[in-house]
Amino acid sequence: MTKTTTISIAKDPLILVTGAAGLIGSTIIWTLNKMGYKRIIAVDHLSTGEKWQNLRSLNILNYYEKKDFRELLAADNFSESFQIIFHLGACSDTTEVDASYLADNNFAYSKMLSLYALRHKSRMIYASSAATYGDGSNGFKDDENTIYKLRPLNKYGYSKQIFDQYLLHNNILLNKENEASFIGVKYSNVFGPNEYHKAQMRSMILRSFEQITSTGKVKLFKSYMKEYGDGEQVRDFLYSKDAAKMTIFFMHEGRDLRGLYNIGIGYVRTWNDLAKATFMALHKKSKIEYIEMPEELKVRYQYYTCLDMSKYKNAGYKEEPIILENAIKDYVRYLKKDSHLGDLDNE
């Protein structure tokens, strides 16, 4: 009989969050703070931009730049072990062309943390990606048995796929006898506060807000498939505050689970729905212009993505995610603040 190790979480664990200043990372720390957790070590690469502002309202114990942290990690030179690891630090740009950079930043870095977790019996919850599903021809189901059938469409997706494969192939991901444990979360189209730094990877909600406030209209791509009207291409949109709560679930009620789990809503909405909800949140009349899609995008554009959420729901998470219109209303209220950067509270 296979022995199943029950995961014990200390009352006040030392928590590591990589990618701490990012969209999901900063929201996870904000949520943990609201739950009473303050012993949090944050890691990121702040560079010369404004991403540092995503950390300024958060309560953390210490901060490391990623380069310095990786050196400490290689030497295993920490005074106290991380019991919980939220590994969200990665290049998430789906247009990144340097595969070697992605292999180092997204795969090698993740592997270093997994080896640390194994040595120190840590709970590691890491960001995989829905980009691993590729064009969806093999479905959007978080089934470890089908992982080798997936064909990501870009280098970013592949950098996430090879880490999932590494953990599975080396009997780490699902091994219930390990005192360390691993959860890979495959996020859907996450949007919300603290994404302004993401350049071309900003969500369409943020882009719509910017377009409406500057020009009074929103530009969406035309459709080139007869099954979909212009702006009727669909996605599984998820608010970042829900993504954070759904991820933290694996630290608490879902602490004994292992494997890959989708993080999304599980039903689709159109780009038109998104644009109209943004106009509504700004109390403006909808005005949408449909534009030509770049030729290089036409061959790899996805008209439909929707994550299968049955596995996650069966894991015991009970809270219903906020609907798109209410999420956009909350987000727009945040964006309209004169000094909103980093402060996720809307009270």
Question: Exposed/middle/buried for 302, CB within 10 Å: 0-12, 13-18, 19+?
Answer: middle
Would you state the structure tokens that stand for residue 139, as one six-digit string?
């479905």
Distance CA 54, CA 342 (A): 4
Nearest to 132 by CA among 148, 145, 120, 119: 148
Distance CA 98, CA 59 (A): 35
Residue 51, C-beta contacts closer than 8 angstroms, at least 6 positions apart: 21, 22, 44, 197
Catalytic position from the list 111, 198, 217, 329: 198
Catalytic position from the list 63, 109, 116, 156: 156
Nearest to 152 by CA among 134, 129, 128: 134
* Crossing angle for the helix pair 324-335 and 204-215, to the nearest 10 degrees: 60
The residue written with tokens 């590494």 in the block is 166
Collapsing DSSP states into helix, strand and coil, what is residue 146?
Answer: helix
Cα distances (angstroms) measured from residue 323 to each of 17, 84, 202, 231:
27, 30, 20, 19
Nearest to 298 by CA among 226, 224, 233: 224
Distance CA 208, CA 287 (A): 11
Collapsing DSSP states into helix, strand and coil, what is residue 219?
Answer: strand
Concerning whether 156 is annotated as a catalytic residue, the answer is yes
Would you state the structure tokens that stand for residue 314, as one six-digit string?
């069966």
Distance CA 83, CA 6 (A): 14
Nearest to 306 by CA among 141, 122, 190: 141
Positions marked active-site: 156, 198
